[in-house]
C-alpha cells in the first residue's frame, strides 16, 4: 500500500448523547476515494443548531452514536475516484452533508458537491450552505415574498435569523423579529423592529402596529408559536415553519397541525420547509446557492460571524453556541483556511 494511505487525519465524534463534553477528537487512516467518490480537504464548516440537536438525539431520525457531526462543509478537492466527471483536484466545493463536517477530510459522492469560486472566503461561504439557503428559499420559494411585504421572523438573531435580516433588507421587506433584548441592536441595524419575547407580548405588538395583518411568518422555534402567530396573518398570508420537531411523534403532531390550519376557511396557509428535499429535487438548491454566492461576491450580503475555531476545537464552539449568547454564526476552520 502506498505510504500516503497510512497517513492519518482527525475528526471530532459524538461518543454518547449529551453535552459538548462528549465531542472527542479521533484519528482515522486516509484512504483513496472509492469510484464515484471525491476526497475533500475541509476548509470550513458551520456550527449549527442541528449539530447540537443531533448530539442530544433530538431528531425524528436519530444518528447512531458514534458519529461525526457537521451539517455543511466548504473545502478543496484533494483526490477523485474513478468515474468523476465534473470535478478535478484543486476545485473549491461545498456540500450540505447533514453529518461528517467536523473533520479534516471528508469523502462525498460527486452529486453532493456544489462548485464554489476560490475567490470567496471559505468562512463566509460556510453559513450560506445551510443558514442562508433556508432563509432564501423560505422567503422566495415557500412564501414568495414581494417588496413591501410585512413579515415576522421568530428567532431573528441566530445564524438563520441574521440571514433573514440581511436577505429581508435586500428584498425591501418590512420586518419584525423576536429576539432577546441583548440582541436587538443587530435587528435594528437591518431595519427590523425588534420584539423582546421575554418581556413583550408579540401578538399585542404586531396587532397594534400592523392591524391589517402580516404577509408572512417564518418560524424557527416551533412549539406554541405556530398556533399563536398564525392568527397574525392577513387573508392570503403564509406561515412557514422550518424548526426541528425533535422526535418522530413531534413531527407527526406538527404535520397534523399544519394540515388542520390549512383546512380553516380564512384564506391563510401554513407550510413546512426542510433541506431534506434537496435529495429529491436538487436543481433549485444549486440555483439558489449560485445566487447566494453571487450576492456574497458582490458584497450585497455578508454573514455575521461571531466566532471562528479550529475544527478540532468543535467542542468549545458547540459550548459557545449552546450558551444562547451568540448573534450570527460560528464557523470551524480547517488548517488550510486558518
Question: Are both 94 and 169 inside the same structural domain?
Answer: no
Question: Are both 137 and 91 inside the same structural domain?
Answer: no
Question: Are both 191 and 215 inside the same structural domain?
Answer: yes
pLDDT 10s digits, 20-39: 999 999 999 999 999 999 99
pLDDT 10s digits, 155-197: 999 999 999 999 999 999 999 999 999 999 999 999 999 999 9
The pLDDT score that the predictor gives to residue 179 is 95
The pLDDT score that the predictor gives to residue 2 is 55
Q: State the pLDDT confidence band at 338, using cuts at 50, 70 and 90.
A: low
In a domain, 7, yes or no: yes
Question: Are both 79 and 107 inside the same structural domain?
Answer: yes
Question: Are both 134 and 262 inside the same structural domain?
Answer: yes
Question: Are both 163 and 244 inside the same structural domain?
Answer: yes
- Label residue 319 left, alpha or beta by phi (over 0 means left) and psi (-120 to 50 means alpha): alpha
Boundary (domain end) residue, out of 276, 291, 322: 276
pLDDT 10s digits, 44-60: 999 999 999 999 999 88
In a domain, 88, yes or no: yes
pLDDT 10s digits, 227-243: 999 999 999 999 999 98
Whichever domain contains 163, its CATH number is 3.40.50.720
| Number of DSSP helices (H) and strands (E) in the chain, helices first | 10, 15
Domain membership of residue 11 as a residue range: 3-118+304-333
Residues 6+ apart with CB under 8 A from 332: 44, 45, 46, 47, 70, 101, 102, 308, 309, 310, 311, 313, 314, 317
Got the DSSP string for 228-281? HHHTTEEEEEEEEE-----SHHHHHHHHHHHHHHHHSTTS-EEEE--GGGGGT-
Question: Are both 107 and 47 inside the same structural domain?
Answer: yes
Question: Are both 97 and 172 inside the same structural domain?
Answer: no
The pLDDT score that the predictor gives to residue 265 is 86
Question: Are both 176 and 238 inside the same structural domain?
Answer: yes
pLDDT 10s digits, 276-296: 766 778 999 999 999 999 999
Number of domains, the chain:
2
In a domain, 281, yes or no: no
Residue 80's SS3 state is strand
Nine-digit cell at 317? 464552539
Question: Are both 181 and 55 inside the same structural domain?
Answer: no
In a domain, 283, yes or no: no
- Measured CA to CA, the distance from residue 241 to residue 155 in angstroms comes to 11
Other CB atoms within a 10 A radius of the CB of residue 61 amount to: 10
Taking Cα atoms as reference points, which of 274, 323, 325 lies closest to residue 59?
Answer: 274
Whichever domain contains 57, its CATH number is 3.90.180.10
Instruction: Kindly state the percentage of the chain with pLDDT values over 90.
Output: 87
In a domain, 294, yes or no: no
* End-to-end alpha carbon distance in the chain: 32
Question: Are both 182 and 216 inside the same structural domain?
Answer: yes
In a domain, 146, yes or no: yes
In a domain, 70, yes or no: yes
- Could you give the count of Cα atoms lying within 13 Å of 166 in the half-sphere of its Cβ? 25
Q: What is the mean pLDDT of the chain?
A: 94
- Measured CA to CA, the distance from residue 94 to residue 131 in angstroms comes to 14
Boundary (domain end) residue, out of 237, 258, 276: 276
Question: Are both 141 and 109 inside the same structural domain?
Answer: no
In a domain, 290, yes or no: no
Amino acid at each position: 500500500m502506498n505510504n500516503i494511505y497510512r497517513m492519518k487525519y482527525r475528526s471530532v465524534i459524538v461518543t454518547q448523547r449529551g453535552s459538548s463534553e462528549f465531542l472527542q477528537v479521533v484519528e482515522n487512516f486516509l484512504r483513496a476515494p472509492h469510484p464515484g467518490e471525491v476526497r475533500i480537504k475541509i476548509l470550513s464548516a458551520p456550527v449549527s443548531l442541528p449539530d447540537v440537536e443531533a448530539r442530544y438525539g433530538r431528531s425524528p431520525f436519530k444518528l447512531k452514536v458514534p458519529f461525526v457531526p457537521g451539517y455543511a462543509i466548504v473545502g478543496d478537492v484533494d483526490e477523485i475516484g474513478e468515474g468523476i466527471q465534473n470535478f478535478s483536484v484543486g476545485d473549491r466545493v461545498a456540500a450540505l452533508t447533514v453529518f461528517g463536517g467536523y473533520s479534516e477530510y471528508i469523502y462525498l459522492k460527486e452529486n453532493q458537491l456544489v462548485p464554489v469560486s476560490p475567490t470567496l472566503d471559505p468562512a463566509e461561504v460556510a453559513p450560506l450552505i445551510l443558514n442562508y439557503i433556508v432563509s432564501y428559499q423560505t422567503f422566495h420559494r415557500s412564501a414568495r415574498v414581494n417588496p413591501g411585504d410585512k413579515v415576522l421572523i421568530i428567532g431573528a438573531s441566530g445564524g438563520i435569523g441574521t440571514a433573514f435580516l440581511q436577505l429581508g433588507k435586500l428584498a425591501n421587506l418590512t420586518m419584525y423579529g423576536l429576539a432577546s433584548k441583548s440582541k436587538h441592536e443587530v435587528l435594528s441595524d437591518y431595519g427590523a423592529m425588534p420584539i423582546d419575547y421575554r418581556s413583550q407580548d408579540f401578538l399585542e405588538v404586531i396587532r397594534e402596529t400592523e392591524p391589517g395583518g402580516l404577509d408572512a411568518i417564518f418560524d424557527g422555534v416551533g412549539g406554541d408559536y405556530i398556533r399563536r402567530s398564525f392568527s397574525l396573518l392577513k387573508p392570503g398570508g403564509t406561515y412557514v415553519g422550518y424548526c426541528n420537531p425533535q422526535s418522530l411523534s413531534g413531527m407527526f403532531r406538527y404535520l397534523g397541525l399544519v394540515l388542520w390550519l390549512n383546512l380553516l376557511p380564512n384564506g391563510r396557509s401554513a407550510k413546512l420547509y426542510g433541506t431534506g428535499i434537496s435529495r429529491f429535487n436538487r436543481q433549485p438548491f444549486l440555483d439558489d446557492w449560485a445566487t447566494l454566492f453571487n450576492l456574497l461576491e458582490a458584497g450585497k450580503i455578508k454573514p455575521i460571524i461571531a466566532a471562528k475555531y479550529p475544527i478540532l476545537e468543535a467542542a468549545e464552539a458547540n459550548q459557545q453556541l449552546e450558551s444562547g449568547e451568540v448573534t450570527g454564526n460560528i464557523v470551524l476552520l480547517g488548517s488550510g483556511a486558518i
